[in-house]
Copies of this chain bind each other. A is one copy, B any other.
Amino acid sequence: MIERSSIEISLSDIAQKSGANAALVKYHFGNKDGLLLALLARDAATEMSNLEYLLAQPITATAKLKLHIAGIIRAYHRFPYMNRLIHYLLHESVAGSADEVSKFFVAPLLDFHRRLLAEGVSRGEFRATDPVLFYTSLIGACDHLFFGRHAMSRATGVGPVTDDVCRQYIKHMETLICGGILTQVEEAAAAG
């Protein structure tokens, strides 16, 4: 999928590439959706164990949040098919896929946000923030760098998502999520 930059592959393509028997692939995964789900579940499990590790570090909640933002954007960049797969499984696939995506992707990530936000609030670092709304805004913003970029690329001044664009977006998201867009003067005025 990385080679072709597409999730439009068949079980027999996969069998051929991997040197496995097509019937064996089909026996093991049932069908293409089964294989895609297994792939996403594997990558998601790796990312989720990283989150547990991150939460246990002896650093501030703010530092954890910044590392998390960078981690999501880098994971999407490293596995470009992950984003497409999630969209595919949520929208086009057989019934039940959305439940699976929810179980191994949405639910653990949302749980991580709940715990990180609670920690940040209890330490006086974060404003009180609803975890579901926070999840929606952070994951949506990270997802959008990769989804629909080919349409954005047609607009003036928008290029492909290079390593450099990823680094810029990580910096942008850290700044925006932590401090917002207002200058400190304006913020003080808005607060006062």
Contact = CB atoms under 8 A, between A and B. Distances in A.
A90 B129 contact: no
Contacts of A150: 90, 98
A91 B89 CA distance: 13
Interface string A125-145: 111011111111111111111
A101 B185 CA distance: 38
Nearest to A187: B179
Interface string A145-175: 1011011101111100000000011001101
Contacts of A190: 62, 178-179
Interface of A: 62, 65, 86-87, 90-92, 98-99, 101-103, 106-107, 110, 120, 124-127, 129-145, 147-148, 150-152, 154-158, 168-169, 172-173, 175-187, 190-191
Given A137-B172, A140-B143, 11 more contacts: A65-B181, A87-B87, A87-B91, A103-B154, A110-B157, A127-B179, A132-B158, A133-B169, A139-B144, A140-B142, A176-B176
